[in-house]
Structure 1
Amino acid sequence: MEFVIKDVMQSSGVKFGTSGARGLADEMTDQVCYIYTKGFLQYLEQQGEISKNGETVAIAGDLRPSTGRIMAAVARAAADMGYSPMNCGRIPSPAVALYGIENRCPAIMVTGSHIPDDRNGIKFNKASGEVLKSDEQGIVSQVVELAVGALDGSFEMPTENPDAGKAYVARYLDIFPSDCLAGKKLGIYQHSAVGREMIVRIFEGLGADVTPLGWSDTFIPVDTEAIREEDVALARQWAAGQDFDAILSTDGDSDRPLISDEAGAWLRGDIAGILAARYLGADSVSTPVSCNTALEKTGWFADVRRTKIGSPFVIASMNEAVEAGSKGVVGYEANGGFLTNSDLPMFGKSLKALPTRDAVLPVLSIILLSIQENKSVSGLLTDLPQRFTASDRIQNFPTEESARIIERFKDAAAVEEVFGDRFGRVEGMDRTDGLRITFQSMEVLHLRPSGNAPEFRCYNEAASQQRVLEMQRQAMDILLRLKG
């Protein structure tokens, strides 16, 4: 039988885009995952990246209950097409992506990232890095042949190969001095993050005194952009009981970081990104339009580029920066994911570019910046222009409903009719991604449907922490009323 990817998207309910495949775990059947994997590999064949000569396809996954089954379906598709599936085990998304880039092979990560474990996903990486927006149409238009009985019987995954995980750890331990974090006391909130043990190994290997915290045998959907109240309370509790310089964590597939200050207050990802870029000596920074405007206000970076939300857009912008002649090209997102598109000089060596979200480099950079500046993490924040952001989401909010709400705000008058009593008159509106409204007070309200889950996200920016949290509560109340 023949299947067209875009038709399978409609019939299965499993979306396929630049973030890969995402959907309910029960709807991500072996057949759907097999078809999507074949479509992706067929596309790479057409692009001349692979040619059915037994090339390796690296496969890894997170710790969700459904991940093992989906990894097997992915591996079976690769094997049936004449490729050699490499079982990299349960390792971070940036680890398997790094392996693919260094070894010039496709890399596939089975993960739902930060979303609940009743859902899952497959993130596809080309040998050159992430799938970009320009690749999307070519993938979804693929026609896949599924032979009768192709999925009959069991499929045995290859024996786990530790090389990809080892290479990711070595990326840091081979570049940074083994005592560069000596004297620093770090808590690492492990929960159900796939990189929980690997991250301990890295930071201990760089000389830090590490205390593992909060291991969980069940999956916890830690969202670094909409931090759960439980995780806010846990960090403050741990900080109060122990003399940590910082607490570190990641989301489920360990590509988005969390870092707290010494009091256990989590830093926003778009603040962490500014500090990391500062330490790394970046001259060009690409970041989505939703991120904190303190970036421009610092005056630290020669070239600042604003993009749509999503790592493919950040990567495309970083590519343009390289073409324009920038030498230290980085990018980051509001979720804290940090990307590099230049080889960066570091301790007399060269840290190779990794143009995909990474959770280790930004938090390591912030701690090293605190050492360099002889300041606490909270002390680093005082060097920044005082702009504060907050974000939240309404779950189980259909994308069509989100789009309908945004559509009603056709002009400033329509916005002021709903939000004017709380936020004042409108200064400007930006539709780069969703709807970003700047009020005359320079306060910001940004509304956007999630691209990979039935969620409506709301971002705010103001001149004080108290005010931005007040804005966030008010905006969420209004949005819930609009939902009806």
Structure 2
Amino acid sequence: MAPKFGTSGLRGLVTELTSELVSDYTNAFLLACETNGTVRVGWDLRPSSPEIADAVITAISQAGQTAIVDGPLPTPALALASLSAGQAAIMITGSHIPADRNGLKFYTTKGEISKDDETSILSHLTALDGPAVEATVKIDGGQDAIAAYVARYTSAFGTAALTGLRVGVYQHSSVARDVMVDVVTALGGTAVPIARSDEFIPVDTEAVDPETSSLFAGWCGDHNLDVLISTDGDADRPMVVDRNSNIVPGDVLGAITSKMLGADILCTPVSSNTMIKQMDEFETIHLTRIGSPFVIAAMEDCLAADPSAKVVGYEANGGFLLGFEAVTPSGRLAPLMTRDCLLPILAPLSLAQASGTTLDALVADLPARFTAADRLTGIATDASKAFLTELTENRAARAAFFAGVGAETDADTTDGLRVSFEGGNVVHLRPSGNAPEFRCYVEADSAQRAQKLLGVHLEKLRTTL
């Protein structure tokens, strides 16, 4: 697949992200979007990122704008720095996907680009002609941006928020691996760094394989951990493992965080856990297509209708977006409408500590709806789209594929095909927008049933695709 925009930014094979292509997209962004003449540049730790960053920085400077080089840092830290300074930003990252792929995330002075911005960038997709102008490049090193990101949560939650907790930090190759340790320590917890890697490891917080889950269980026991935390490669998705070695899904973290912050309005993709419909705390729920641009668009619509709305957004992967100034245990938390990993980690943990309980107890108090998700890789996009079209348009084909689940009660095509059945089971199928992958999401009234549904339908997909 050629590089293209997906659920969050441009992505493609590293071999196809040539300097010329990267320069073209950077120039198109500079032409199409507001930058105020300055673009901050950051990247993750995959091997190809520094070279791609060089192409981005060169394009910015040769276009007569100022490039501020922040270097390796979490995506939300870069976004926070750019928004605070009224500057644009470009993050070089492939997020959770393997190291043979990479991508670009674009931020205007207002925040993450919208789908309309993507269309405008594509319409300007041409290299600038004419001689290069005098280059302006400032090496910031990202330390100020990282410090501001850490301070955001220290001031919001206080230096005693995690006191008494032993927090394992699965560092792997996350660009936030040191930031997580710093934040846990700053909030009074005991950070236990684990499994730092010199090689890039593609961690997908929505699809953790059994071998990795076994590692988590071993680490929790060996290090006597109260909780284990981590993120994906660029740190816009959280991963949390409770004291019983159970992974807490991102949309569960999102629901707890939303409740803790006092949100009234939730914007979240249709794939997220439907437990929120049974929670009295939320007045309005907007279900969107999958991808942060769609969540942000829904949040912006809510704020346009009522600027004082207490609106938040989160994705099933746990990336959390804050749309209002929230009151927190030690102060206030300014809006940050880009996916963040730290808030949905820290809010549930601090809430549990303040309540004298545990994270797993907070989760147990939520409505009993359970999700599971995984993906098949190496699936040609044409094949997956043809298969999904057949299921969508042919009810008999759906009945055959979903045989044994129960009678169909609804088929939602907001994003992919999400089928609900009598008894409350849900199976949601969706091809990736920018990688040869096919995802399967399920929901049921027990964790065991959800895992069984997932396993059965992944096997069906393997056989079919």
Output the TM-score relative to the length of structure 1: 0.92
The verdict on how the C-alpha distance between 1:415 and 1:205 changes in structure 2, with shifts beyond 3 A counting, is same
2:230 corresponds in structure 1 to: 249
Provide the C-alpha distance between the structure 2 equivalents of 1:29 and 1:157, rounded to a whole number of angstroms: 24
Q: Deviations over 1:10-62 (max 9, x none)?
A: xx921135622211111111111111101001102xxxx246xxx32100000
* 1:14 partner amino acid: P
* C-alpha contact (below 8 Å) 1:222/1:228 kept by paired residues: no
Q: Deviations over 1:378-428 (max 9, x none)?
A: 1111111111111110101122111111111114332112212x2121111
What is the Cα-based RMSD across aligned positions, in Å?
Answer: 2.0
Matched, 1:367 2:349: yes
Provide the C-alpha distance between the structure 1 equivalents of 2:206 and 2:238, rounded to a whole number of angstroms: 10
2:5 corresponds in structure 1 to: 16
Provide the C-alpha distance between the structure 2 equivalents of 1:67 and 1:94, rounded to a whole number of angstroms: 17
Q: Deviations over 1:447-478 (max 9, x none)?
A: 00112211000001111111111111110111
* C-alpha contact (below 8 Å) 2:270/2:287 kept by paired residues: yes
* 1:308 partner amino acid: R
Counterpart among 449, 455, 465 of residue 473 in structure 1? 455
Counterpart among 250, 262, 268 of residue 243 in structure 2? 262
SS at match of 1:63: coil
Provide the C-alpha distance between the structure 1 equivalents of 2:258 and 2:237, rounded to a whole number of angstroms: 15
* C-alpha contact (below 8 Å) 2:157/2:350 kept by paired residues: no
* C-alpha contact (below 8 Å) 1:37/1:78 kept by paired residues: yes
Output the TM-score relative to the length of structure 2: 0.95
The verdict on how the C-alpha distance between 1:18 and 1:431 changes in structure 2, with shifts beyond 3 A counting, is closer
1:60 corresponds in structure 2 to: 42
Q: Which runs of 5+ in 2 are unaligned?
A: none
The verdict on how the C-alpha distance between 1:17 and 1:427 changes in structure 2, with shifts beyond 3 A counting, is closer
Counterpart among 53, 59, 65 of residue 77 in structure 1? 59
Instruction: Quote how far apart the aligned CAs of 1:156 are.
Output: 8.8
Matched, 1:338 2:282: no
* 1:100 partner amino acid: S
Q: How does 1:85-484 map to 2 (within 5 A)?
A: 85-147=67-129, 158=139, 160-325=141-306, 327-347=309-329, 349-409=331-391, 410-420=393-403, 422-483=404-465
* C-alpha contact (below 8 Å) 2:24/2:125 kept by paired residues: no
Higher relative contact order (CA 8 A, sep 6+): 2
Provide the C-alpha distance between the structure 2 equivalents of 1:372 and 1:203, rounded to a whole number of angstroms: 16
Percent identical pairs in the alignment equals 42
1:35 corresponds in structure 2 to: 24
SS at match of 1:357: strand
Instruction: Quote how far apart the aligned CAs of 1:148 are.
Output: 8.2
Instruction: Quote how far apart the aligned CAs of 1:178 are.
Output: 1.1
* 1:179 partner amino acid: A
* 1:470 partner amino acid: K
The verdict on how the C-alpha distance between 1:348 and 1:464 changes in structure 2, with shifts beyond 3 A counting, is closer
Q: Deviations over 1:137-188 (max 9, x none)?
A: 11101042345897xxxx9984635221221112112332111211111111
* 2:402 partner amino acid: F
* C-alpha contact (below 8 Å) 1:18/1:132 kept by paired residues: no
Provide the C-alpha distance between the structure 1 equivalents of 2:30 and 2:255, rounded to a whole number of angstroms: 36
Provide the C-alpha distance between the structure 2 equivalents of 1:205 and 1:385, rounded to a whole number of angstroms: 33
Provide the C-alpha distance between the structure 2 equivalents of 1:383 and 1:161, rounded to a whole number of angstroms: 40
